[in-house]
A and B are shown apart, each in its own frame.
Chain A
Amino acid sequence: MNGIIEISGIEKEYRMGKITVPALRGIDLTIMQGEFVAIMGPSGSGKSTLMHILGCLDTPTSGDYFLDGEKISAMKKSKLAAIRNSKIGFVFQTFNLLPHLNVQKNVELPLMYSGVSPRKRAARAREVLSDVGLGDRLRHKPSELSGGQRQRVAIARALVNNPAIIFADEPTGNLDSVSGSDILTIFSNLHAKGHTIVMVTHDSAVATRASTRVNIVDGLIG
């Protein structure tokens, strides 16, 4: 059985002037369809770098990466943008919503870049927003929402394109414990519905929600 994500021998080096800093030193990992994986590790361990590569925001220095059967490690940037758009949904610690767009428009954004008509976009955005319990906040600006609500908008945006996989980078890091717990419940429900989720966290309490835990230490799986 093939995984939705298969990586082997992934290395990533950063050049800082004449010094080369290794961030990932040969990572092999397979994530199966429907899995909820928590990537854990202290800061500086390379977990964020791994997620950027898995999320197609960055490319590895060496190694192979297959996502949903497609070889990502050899792709051009324009192709990576299309992959991000169609196969990946991101949820960030700092929400990363566009402040001048209302909730619905924020959620519509990925659909705009995949060429969906405005009417279909609006309908789909409303659908996902009511799924995360924000059906009555469509016209609000992000600044008019609480942190937990903002993160739910971000989850709706990540889901709107029916992605193969959802990446969440410390999704509860900026939230109080109640809101954080709500958000984790949403992720658990999505997992129960069959979504594949990869979450980066340094909080082991958060990681208990996941079905699989991966620890990264000094650029290697520990």
Chain B
Amino acid sequence: MAISIKESIVAGVTDFWSRKIRSAVTILGILLGTMSIIVVLSLVNGIYSTTTAWMTERGGLTKIAIDNNREYDNAQNLPEYFTLQEIELIKSLIPEATAVNPQMSSWLSMSYRDKKENGLLMGVYPDYALVEEWTADRGRFINDFDVNQSADVVVIGTKIRDELFGSKNPLGQFITINDRRLQVIGIMEHKFLKNNGIGNANALGWMNRRALIPLSTMIHKGTGQDHIEELTVKAASPEEAIDLKYKLEAILLNLRAGQPVFRIESNMEQAEEMQKNFQTMRIIIFFISLVSLFVAGIVISNIMLATVQERTREIGIRLAVGARRTDIFIQIVVQTIIIFIIGGFIGVVVGLSLLSVVSGYLGQPIIAARWVIITAVASTLCVGAITGIFPALKACNLDPIKALHYE
């Protein structure tokens, strides 16, 4: 013998409509709270996934990069580069690595007939394609034969191709770099990652300005010295990448009298660090949004208390005709929750629309994950229930006689 939840909802909606302005203002508060949770959490996720996409484009989580340690004060004048002999030694010590690529590079002018373009000339091993997960999509990449023969061949990036050759087919043509004629044997895949900011800038555009030649060609026909500044290594899996990194650290310390002459960076380690940072960020932002939602909740609680005050006589009448205290309690809680459901629903809709506008502006899709929406809705409803309880308790504890005579 009690009023059903359905009746409470009907009563709640009726009441909601009869106080339009008050309802609208309270809904606005909840709407903003829910919306901010969705928008901000999704933006953080968006930045996170862009950064992970960047890492994948730069060789994935299995890549380990070694170059000289700029923070090390090299007082003993230890060599800050590897020799070919050292590279072979290192390679023999890490058989578990799936690819090992030593590289030298130099920013140079490249020319074809009367056209000139600046680019980064890199001397590499065939493993370069494996380590960077980047290879030629026309023609072919450098192979072991090219390295053994110190062949005069070059694989160029799309930017260099566009500047030097335009629409002409560059394969088989010769370009001149440092007075040496090199035959174009391949064109690298076009690298592109949308810039996480204004306009349509390509965050990886600089990679398309690379020209790759065999490392031996670079040493024997270029500088003449095997001063190899960089070494990149690929592990079999992201987990193994961290072990391999520690192993390489030990090897390199041994090679340089225990001094940290080289810096070793693992993408996996960076990704884990980043993951941690983003997790912290998510939690902080979620709590800020939750606090703002609670502020809205307190305001609504206050309004509901005023409503209970205004409706004292009504509650007295209801009690006199046989409403139980639980009926009154449920009615008030349900009314509060209805406001939160409506506010939460509009908040989700507005939040998602706002995200699509922001996505359009940034030029990259930012999608609210299902857990983000669920988190936002669940926290809204929790706050609604918590803030609805207090006014409801006040209402259901009214003395029917006093309530009936309330003016």
A interface with B by C-beta (< 8 Å): 52, 55, 57-58, 77-78, 81-82, 84-86, 90, 92, 96-98, 100, 109-110, 112-115, 157, 161
Q: Which of B36-44, B185-193, B295-303, B321-329 contacts A (4 or more CB under 8 A)?
A: B321-329
Number of B residues near A (Cβ < 8 Å) is 25
> Across the interface, do A57 and B400 meet the contact criterion of CB distance under 8 Å?
yes
8 Å CB contact of A57 from B3, B320, B324: B320
> Across the interface, do A113 and B323 meet the contact criterion of CB distance under 8 Å?
yes
Bound CA–CA A57/B401 (angstroms):
7
Interface string of B175-213 (1 = CB under 8 A from A): 000000000000000000000000000000000000000
Bound CA–CA A77/B319 (angstroms):
11
Bound CA–CA A92/B333 (angstroms):
29
Interface string of B315-346 (1 = CB under 8 A from A): 01111111111110000000000000000000
> Across the interface, do B1 and A114 meet the contact criterion of CB distance under 8 Å?
yes
> Across the interface, do B1 and A109 meet the contact criterion of CB distance under 8 Å?
no
Known: A52-B401, A112-B3, A113-B327. A98 touches B322 (CB 8 A): no
* Closest chain A residue to B7, Cβ basis: A112
Most A CB contacts (10 A, CB to CB) among B313, B320, B323, B325 go to B320
Least CB distance from B306 to A in Å reads 17
17 A-B pairs besides A96-B313, A109-B321, A113-B1 with CB distance below 8 A are A52-B401, A57-B400, A81-B322, A81-B324, A82-B1, A84-B320, A85-B321, A86-B1, A90-B321, A92-B404, A97-B317, A109-B318, A110-B321, A114-B1, A115-B3, A157-B321, A161-B322
Least CB distance from B319 to A in Å reads 7
8 Å CB contact of A100 from B7, B14, B401: B14
Bound CA–CA A85/B324 (angstroms):
9
> Across the interface, do B320 and A96 meet the contact criterion of CB distance under 8 Å?
yes
Q: Does B163 contact A (CB under 8 A)?
A: no
B404 surroundings in chain A (CB, below 8 A): 57, 92, 96
A161 surroundings in chain B (CB, below 8 A): 322
* Closest chain B residue to A85, Cβ basis: B322
* Closest chain A residue to B327, Cβ basis: A113
B318 surroundings in chain A (CB, below 8 A): 109, 113
Most B CB contacts (10 A, CB to CB) among A110, A112, A115 go to A112
> Across the interface, do A113 and B2 meet the contact criterion of CB distance under 8 Å?
yes
B14 surroundings in chain A (CB, below 8 A): 100
8 Å CB contact of A81 from B18, B316, B323: B323
* Closest chain B residue to A52, Cβ basis: B401
Q: Does B4 contact A (CB under 8 A)?
A: yes
Bound CA–CA A110/B14 (angstroms):
18
> Across the interface, do A81 and B325 meet the contact criterion of CB distance under 8 Å?
yes
Known: A57-B320, A110-B322. A115 touches B401 (CB 8 A): no
A113 surroundings in chain B (CB, below 8 A): 1-3, 318, 321-324, 327
Least CB distance from B22 to A in Å reads 14
> Across the interface, do A58 and B401 meet the contact criterion of CB distance under 8 Å?
yes
Q: Does B314 contact A (CB under 8 A)?
A: yes
> Across the interface, do A115 and B321 meet the contact criterion of CB distance under 8 Å?
no
8 Å CB contact of B325 from A77, A109, A157: A77
B1 surroundings in chain A (CB, below 8 A): 82, 85-86, 113-115
